[in-house]
Structure 1
């Protein structure tokens, strides 16, 4: 142990697990040359060739990594493939060359400018899952910077003992190289819980914390570190008392995880007969098998946007058809709910890059699809053609009016007629649904329910729109409150409207996988919950330890609360009493998002500190 005092720092939980060991610090260095310079006209061609040559070498490195791990990629080869595409994407490759040629800047300077422009584009994406794809762009650029700087060393070659590794960032390819007994876990300065780095770490079962900038800044190479991938906590130079405490936490977590794993493939049904379908949110075909292994009863949200980003042109029907067919085949006979495109027009290859003053309320999602019928019908054709290969459900995002629903159904009918005329098989009875994430849609849910086969409540956007909150704005992020009475009443209104019309009502926002919300959602009568795959066995266990009648009584009591504070107080009493293993003294508490644990008490304290935990 180090002689300095212990330091406890929180990052973002990326992959659960508790590990304790010495840290190998791989540095925070960004490979940038400080002496950027302008070029003479005679140097421009040579500099372009230097940049192109380095990109060729990076491409060769990535292909070698892909080949090296081809037999053990667990289906994540597409991530490396996406990095190969990004190397040649116009945002980085073409733009860097243009800056070298037009502005006479050296390759490092030009690439830095191009990367900052790409960051700005991604920062305007409302969906956090898609916004975090900027990390892939940064990781690809960092490989180029490293070779431009003449750095070719293998940062993993020196690992010859069990360590926790720390660095500014790791690419998904780096995580593949951690698949040995020497790497206990890792933490980084950069990254988010939905980054590809985090996704691969969870798949491989490597405990990880990302976004821990202060921990990376203060870590001392070789010192003992506690890495808690459950809560996102990192303790540098822990005291003997903290070590003893975390060795016990480690034992408890392993024991609890072993118990929870037994619930993965059990029916999500309460002892008194209430059944709730528990499904997974994914964005890549490769995540499907992992979802099923965690006990998913289907895919409740397949984000289709990934295949539109980072491309020089829109994906064609053939490419989309292959993606949709592959996911349906992989999951069959389980249902797959594919959401049509849900990004802004300025994020598309041919989009207007001028931006909008308020993109979250601008031309995005179904508005964009209806504005570009050719693009929309291309996606619908691919979906319908793939529908014969499995159990497909099509879902349309950000619906706000009956006019939009009728327009969508009109285009769907057109595409069906075209396919029938071409004698291309498709499922004529494919179920269609809409996301309820706009307050206007909540108000007319009873009318909309007559036109669709199911509702899925997107709580992330619904909460933001209902409370006029931007979660990305630190000045108001603390006001993003899932237990706000207005939000709970909206959910109740949608459930009642859907059930009155005889259609299923599900939820695919973060609330669906938040165990502190689960009893309330059961009491409200949700038919389906879709969440991060790793949350599924935990949620199933809670469902099987719930009593439907008690959950209904809880929901009724909550609707007598006038504020979020009162709701938290009520849950603070209810959860430990009904779920002692999760919320009682020494319990594992609550699984939020992709693995970060929070107690109801934590949330109440967060309100006091005016920040969301």
Structure 2
């Protein structure tokens, strides 16, 4: 039976559209179960009716015509109860409804199973037979298993049909569809999708033996030079937006093309008599296979870089012109695998959003998108990307959602979000100089999270009062080796000088989990519960000491450095880290660099640290809550997994209680506590964080003016009252709606929609 199920799913997966998929389902299930009838009813969400969409055994003319409401018929009963229904005599059931056009009065026994996708009933799968009999447990189990397997297939095929602009009856209609991926870069965009397809397809290149090897070598060298030139041009084009270290992404491409790397391997294959295109296909294929089989997420991402290079080289070898694209205003760039090079090809001022079927929030594209402030969604595995070119699209980089053919209502809602962001940006000059003070005089500093050069300028434009989190791993991630002490010193000095005399909180190297280094791979079954953060650097004191020395030396004469330790789970880790920091401080002073010992803090992002807040507070100068990881660990939800994205919620009552506990305990020891992460950048959530007593909030520079605007409109006393009410609620959805309603009643709704879950 398992083999039969696998074959059916494979056949359905290869179907060209929804109609064909449903036809395969009813035919194969009818054959597998030996029944006289198999039918699929799909729920039309607009009409709220189950519509007969495919059948083997019922009158074909009834397809698309017969439908029933959820409170009608046996199909409606299966759909509303969300469980199987097994009847020996269907006609005797009180919910039985007769449809003359189907001819189903000839069939007595009935077995129906709901088709459920992501908690939503999308249809009902039914088998019927003439003789009266109860379907046995094995048959019922098969149909339930079939329904579960096909739920995702049907949902995807249905969405694909929507993209094509066809309704279930095959008539032209633009139907809104929603796809869920992973947030790559925050923000919202409304625009026109422009699909970037590979300029050439390596997979279809055949083998061919050539006699003139010298000519093929010459052709390949010409292609190499052409692509090298393209990479240098694109790198120069982005020079004003990215620091040299960040533009090093393009240097990675150039290194791959080097005579000692990919270029050399292709040359060797050509010398065996293979033509240049075939040699390129062979070498690129081998590299891609090796990368894709690697456990390390960062290294798997590099497969897309190799593929992109291969396609560009093939385009030159074929003497084909590069794909000629016309970029419309408000371009949303869509591709199976977006690459940094694709971003550079869009004319300045045209690009408003990015969508990539492959990739994660850790990919090079996501890093660059955040640096450039472009709303981005990654990992949209269900998006039929090749069919969306030219259609209207909405990108929600806050939630990792993309809408195609949006309704007029949705378009207006998101256009209002985009307009609000633009309007707020225009008034930044006035807002930038104003302090973040509530209507009743409570002052709370707003800091920024930084990592790239572009973050510095945006932070200063938006009036940041310091850096709550400088991600030191970014220079490590875009390098091909560990940066030296001198190189780190220069990067850190740049940050400290840029914000002086404001404080800059530098987190020690935080790798592992979803942040990997290509030259220091970490292969683990469960990386988020593995070797990451302080655990790595304490095991490698040579890395920690070099970084600490570089930070200390960079702060000479500035004295605005704060050091933050990530992933702390106990006091013993703090003791070890403090010992190394003091050792580095002593070495730096011995070398003649006179710097005071900077404040040292710990990140509270593991549940263990929440319960050790008092003990940790006694060891350090300050605490900083990492809301992203703390939420992830408290709720046991991988925040990079779109399947459980709905469960990741920083307004969950458990998260709110943990945050309040940390503030109370830290203040009891006289230590300040800040919070960084997505939660701090949510204007509505920021009201609650301020009410809890956090001493400062640190966020993405893009969100800072929104949070400042919100907090300047509210009363600290009223926010405390609101927090007290919400802390009594045990349901996160009710907390969201209550918070939004309270703020809207105060006329503050305009800043809620962009980031509040499930409001659009």
- TM-score, length-normalised on structure 1? 0.79
User: What corresponds to 1:164 in structure 2?
Assistant: 331
8 Å CA contact retained: 1:401, 1:440: yes
Q: CA deviation at 1:567?
A: 2.4
From 74, 84, 96, the counterpart of 2:241: 74
User: What corresponds to 1:114 in structure 2?
Assistant: 287
Asked which structure has the greater CA Rg, the reply is: 2
Q: Secondary structure at the match of 1:275?
A: coil
What 5-or-longer segments of structure 1 have no aligned partner?
Answer: 125-130, 593-597, 603-613
8 Å CA contact retained: 1:9, 1:214: no
Task: Supply the distance in 2 between the matched residues of 1:340 and 1:307 (Cα, whole angstroms).
Answer: 12
Q: CA deviation at 1:407?
A: 0.8
The verdict on how the C-alpha distance between 1:401 and 1:452 changes in structure 2, with shifts beyond 3 A counting, is same
From 551, 554, 567, the counterpart of 1:386: 554
Task: Supply the distance in 2 between the matched residues of 1:392 and 1:511 (Cα, whole angstroms).
Answer: 24
**Larger RCO: 1 or 2 (CA < 8 Å, sep 6+):** 1
User: What corresponds to 1:291 in structure 2?
Assistant: 459
Q: CA deviation at 1:254?
A: 4.6
Aligned residues: 575
Within 5 Å, give how 1:441-480 maps onto structure 2: 441-473=609-641, 476-480=644-648
From 309, 321, 325, the counterpart of 2:493: 325
What CA deviation, in whole Å up to 9, does each residue of 1:153-181 have, x standing for no partner? 67586538647354415444543443446
Quick check: 534-543 or 509-518, which moved more? 509-518
Task: Supply the distance in 1 between the matched residues of 2:654 and 2:186 (Cα, whole angstroms).
Answer: 33
Q: CA deviation at 1:264?
A: 3.8
Task: Supply the distance in 2 between the matched residues of 1:241 and 1:412 (Cα, whole angstroms).
Answer: 56
Within 5 Å, give how 1:10-409 maps onto structure 2: 10=179, 14=185, 16=187, 18-19=189-190, 24-27=194-197, 31-35=201-205, 57-68=226-237, 70=239, 73-85=240-252, 87-88=254-255, 106-115=279-288, 117-118=290-291, 124=297, 138-139=304-305, 141-149=307-315, 150=317, 158-159=325-326, 162=329, 164=331, 166-168=333-335, 169-180=337-348, 187-190=355-358, 197=365, 214=383, 216-221=385-390, 225-227=392-394, 254-255=422-423, 258=426, 262-309=430-477, 311-344=479-512, 347-348=516-517, 351=520, 355-388=523-556, 390=558, 391-409=560-578
8 Å CA contact retained: 1:96, 1:110: no
Q: CA deviation at 1:261?
A: 6.8
User: What corresponds to 1:576 in structure 2?
Assistant: 744
Q: CA deviation at 1:206?
A: 6.2
User: What corresponds to 1:605 in structure 2?
Assistant: none
The verdict on how the C-alpha distance between 1:19 and 1:314 changes in structure 2, with shifts beyond 3 A counting, is closer
The verdict on how the C-alpha distance between 1:491 and 1:270 changes in structure 2, with shifts beyond 3 A counting, is same
8 Å CA contact retained: 1:393, 1:433: yes
Q: CA deviation at 1:63?
A: 1.9
Aligned-residue RMSD, C-alpha: 4.2
What CA deviation, in whole Å up to 9, does each residue of 1:349-387 have, x standing for no partner? 66465x222222222211111111111111111111111
Q: CA deviation at 1:399?
A: 0.8
8 Å CA contact retained: 1:108, 1:145: no
Task: Supply the distance in 2 between the matched residues of 1:69 and 1:357 (Cα, whole angstroms).
Answer: 37
Within 5 Å, give how 1:489-568 maps onto structure 2: 489-568=657-736
Task: Supply the distance in 1 between the matched residues of 2:220 and 2:320 (Cα, whole angstroms).
Answer: 19
From 408, 415, 421, the counterpart of 2:584: 415
Q: Secondary structure at the match of 1:263?
A: helix
Task: Supply the distance in 2 between the matched residues of 1:526 and 1:484 (Cα, whole angstroms).
Answer: 18
Task: Supply the distance in 1 between the matched residues of 2:711 and 2:295 (Cα, whole angstroms).
Answer: 37
Q: CA deviation at 1:270?
A: 0.8
Task: Supply the distance in 1 between the matched residues of 2:478 and 2:258 (Cα, whole angstroms).
Answer: 8
The verdict on how the C-alpha distance between 1:377 and 1:91 changes in structure 2, with shifts beyond 3 A counting, is farther
Q: Secondary structure at the match of 2:491?
A: helix
The verdict on how the C-alpha distance between 1:294 and 1:84 changes in structure 2, with shifts beyond 3 A counting, is same
